[in-house]
């Protein structure tokens, strides 16, 4: 199922009209006969024991792999339908439990993953027929997948990965972020009920009630886990890669943006304001630093203030550094003060004595290229802007700030050579031209949506086929050919 960006925007407006974070609705009681409690200790997919969670998912996958594509589609559509009924509830509970982001933006993220995550329809078959026979290659399941989900997009990633992973014939065991385990458990339970209600097997998705790094190690060691998928920081991704199993890793970003001398400045200011402030900048693909080529710097800063941002002066900028960043214990540089990750710009500014309305969603800073806000992925609505003497200098600065993550980058330009040159140099998985970076994952842009952007391991914008292996079937000697 696909849905356009304009339709998503219309749905968001309908959902938000007349309700807010305090209007979170209680989940409807499941229909009689559609609940289940596993004999092995699980509660609608939530387990206290790692091996029990894996075993239940393994048994479910053995059944699920026999389901026809049309039967999988029916289950996926019930997941979508059910999740739509919990959008505002989960958005509110995620905000309450994690303490990060903005309610209205979480609503939009939920709508995007529900409606724009592809199902089994993307699992196409390749065929070659010739004198030597007929060959077909198809996407087959790995089996049981361990999925590690982040605190920044907890239920959104569960919905997204569930649709993608079970569409490919797999089952999933989730090790969610501990700071979002309550709402994640509720999400897993409700999706499990939807799966059973549509005729699918119980425990097709499971999770650990009390997830830790130790449970990740136990999952990695379990022989019935065939694939590890992780969404989060590079430390987590590197740990998965050391597991010795097939891994799909979605790591850190620090996405740079270039605004060159040919850019439409009003468009650039509006889109960068929109993207960098979206869900208070906790998304790995959100704009983290901007490099503006002269003579457009002053004009850009004026227009982004006009769009709604607050421009901090030099003294306020230093106060923000002291508040939002902290020295690493080894003295090698700065790291983020997690207290302020994902907080509203108005709250951050108030902490340094600057009062702005909550409608001000972003603070912008005029800083040099070696400023810590440029070099550290801050995950908050505080956006450093660097003045550059030329497009070439802007590219050099952007490449250094991106740190080789090859995650996301963007550019505002009308110069085709600039658009091409920067794209070739930066080599990011997502490269957006003349829009906010969230358009690159289908939120306000074309293409399907994902919350698992596998740059380090190369799968890119994941979908069902990303979590499948290729199998070839060969019928020799010209069999079945009629010419």
Residue 25: its pLDDT value, please? 39
Residue 456: its pLDDT value, please? 86
Per-residue burial over 354-377, b = 16 or more CB atoms within 10 Å of its CB, e = otherwise = bebeeebbbbbbbbebebbbbbbb
The model's confidence at residue 367, banded by pLDDT at 50, 70 and 90, is very high
Distance CA 292, CA 383 (A): 13
Which residues are CB-neighbours of 38 under 8 A, at least 6 positions away? 47, 56, 202, 203
Domains and CATH numbers, the chain: 5-27+39-251+460-473 (3.40.605.10), 256-445 (3.40.309.10)
Give the CA-trace dihedral at 141, 145, 150, 156, to 10 degrees: 40
Residue 32: its pLDDT value, please? 37
- What are 360-363's contacts with CB under 8 Å, separation 24+? 360/308, 360/309, 360/310, 361/102, 361/273, 361/277, 361/280, 361/308, 361/309, 362/273, 362/276, 362/277, 362/304, 362/308, 362/309, 362/310, 363/309, 363/310, 363/311, 363/312, 363/320
Distance CA 276, CA 380 (A): 9
What tokens appear for 399 in the block? 């490449």
What tokens appear for 107 in the block? 């609503």
Which among 109, 126, 125 has a CA at the least distance from the CA of 117?
109
Residue 352: its pLDDT value, please? 98
Average pLDDT over residues 251-264: 95
Of 463 and 11, which is predicted with more confidence? 463
Residue 2: its pLDDT value, please? 46
Asked if residue 477 has pLDDT above 90, the reply is: no
Distance CA 5, CA 310 (A): 28
Asked if residue 6 has pLDDT above 70, the reply is: no
Which string of DSSP letters, residue by residue, matches 426-455?
H--SEEEESS-GGGGGTSSSSS---S-EE-
Average pLDDT over residues 13-34: 43
Q: pLDDT of 430-455, one tens digit each?
A: 999 999 999 999 999 999 999 999 98
Instruction: Please give the angle made by the CA atoms of 408, 410 and 416, to the nearest 5 degrees.
Output: 135
Residue 38: its pLDDT value, please? 53
Residue 317: its pLDDT value, please? 98
Residue 19: its pLDDT value, please? 45
Asked if residue 18 has pLDDT above 90, the reply is: no
Which among 134, 414, 435 has a CA at the least distance from the CA of 285?
435
Of 42 and 407, which is predicted with more confidence? 407
The phi, psi pair for 83, rounded to 5°, reads -60, -35
Residue 29: its pLDDT value, please? 37
Sheet arrangement for strand 247-250: 46-47, 205-208, 171-175, 144-148, 225-231, 247-250
Average pLDDT over residues 285-306: 97
Residue 30: its pLDDT value, please? 39
Q: pLDDT of 166-188, one tens digit each?
A: 999 999 999 999 999 999 999 99
Give the CA-trace dihedral at 328, 241, 65, 140, to 10 degrees: 120
Distance CA 166, CA 91 (A): 23
pTM for this predicted structure: 0.90
Average pLDDT over residues 375-383: 96
Average pLDDT over residues 337-357: 97
Average pLDDT over residues 352-367: 98
Distance CA 228, CA 200 (A): 23
- Give strand pairing partners of 385: 290, 366
- Give strand pairing partners of 136: 127, 473
Percent of the chain with pLDDT over 90: 82
Which among 180, 152, 193, 217 has a CA at the least distance from the CA of 45?
193
* DSSP state, residue 37: B
Q: pLDDT of 297-323, one tens digit each?
A: 999 999 999 999 999 999 999 999 999
Percent of the chain with pLDDT over 70: 91
Residue 233: its pLDDT value, please? 72
Which residues are CB-neighbours of 222 under 8 A, at least 6 positions away? 50, 51, 54
User: Which range among 39-48, 194-203, 246-255, 452-461 has the greatest average pLDDT?
Assistant: 194-203
Distance CA 352, CA 293 (A): 30
Taking a C-beta distance cutoff of 8 angstroms, is the pair 321, 372 a contact?
A: yes
């Amino acid at each position: 199922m696909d849905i356009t960006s304009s339709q998503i925007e219309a749905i968001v407006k309908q959902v938000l009209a007349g309700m807010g974070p305090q209007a979170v609705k209680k989940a409807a009681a499941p229909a009689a006969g559609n609940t289940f409690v596993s004999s092995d200790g699980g509660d609608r997919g939530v387990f206290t024991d790692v091996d029990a969670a894996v075993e239940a998912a393994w048994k479910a996958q053995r059944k699920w792999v026999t389901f026809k594509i049309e039967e999988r589609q029916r289950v996926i559509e019930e997941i979508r339908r059910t999740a739509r009924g919990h959008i505002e509830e989960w958005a509110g509970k995620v905000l309450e439990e994690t303490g990060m982001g903005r309610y209205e933006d979480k609503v939009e993220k939920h709508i995007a993953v529900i409606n724009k995550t592809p199902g089994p329809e993307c699992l196409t078959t390749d065929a070659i027929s010739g004198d030597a026979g007929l060959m077909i290659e198809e996407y087959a399941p790995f089996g049981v997948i361990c999925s590690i989900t982040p605190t920044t997009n907890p239920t959104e990633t569960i919905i997204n990965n569930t649709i993608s992973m079970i569409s490919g014939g797999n089952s999933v065991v989730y090790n969610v972020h501990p700071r979002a385990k309550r709402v994640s458990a509720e999400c897993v339970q409700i999706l499990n009920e939807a799966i059973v209600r549509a005729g699918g097997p119980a425990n097709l998705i499971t999770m650990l009630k009390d997830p830790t790094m130790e449970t990740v190690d136990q999952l990695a060691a379990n022989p019935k886990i065939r694939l590890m998928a992780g969404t989060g920081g590079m430390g987590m991704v590197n740990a998965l890669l050391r597991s010795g199993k097939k891994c799909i890793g979605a790591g850190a970003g620090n996405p740079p943006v270039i605004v060159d001398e040919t850019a439409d400045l009003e468009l650039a200011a509006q889109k960068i304001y929109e993207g960098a402030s979206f869900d208070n900048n906790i998304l790995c693909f959100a704009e983290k630093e901007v490099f503006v080529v002269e003579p457009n710097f002053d004009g850009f800063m004026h227009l982004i203030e006009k769009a709604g941002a607050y421009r901090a002066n030099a003294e306020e900028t230093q106060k923000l550094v002291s508040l939002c960043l902290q020295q690493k214990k080894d003295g090698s540089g700065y790291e983020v003060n997690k207290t302020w990750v994902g907080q509203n710009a108005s709250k951050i500014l108030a902490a340094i004595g600057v009062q702005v309305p909550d409608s001000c969603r972003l603070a912008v800073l005029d800083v040099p290229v070696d400023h810590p806000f440029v070099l550290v992925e801050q995950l908050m609505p505080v956006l450093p802007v660097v003045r550059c003497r030329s497009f070439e200098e802007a590219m050099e600065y952007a490449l250094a700030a991106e740190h080789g993550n090859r995650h996301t980058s963007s550019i505002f330009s009308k110069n085709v050579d600039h658009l091409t040159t920067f794209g070739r140099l930066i080599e990011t998985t997502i490269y957006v031209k003349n829009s906010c970076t969230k358009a690159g994952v289908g939120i306000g842009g074309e293409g399907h949506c994902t919350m698992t952007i596998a740059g380090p391991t190369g799968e890119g914008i994941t979908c069902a086929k990303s979590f499948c292996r290729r199998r070839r079937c060969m019928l020799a000697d010209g069999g079945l050919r009629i010419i």
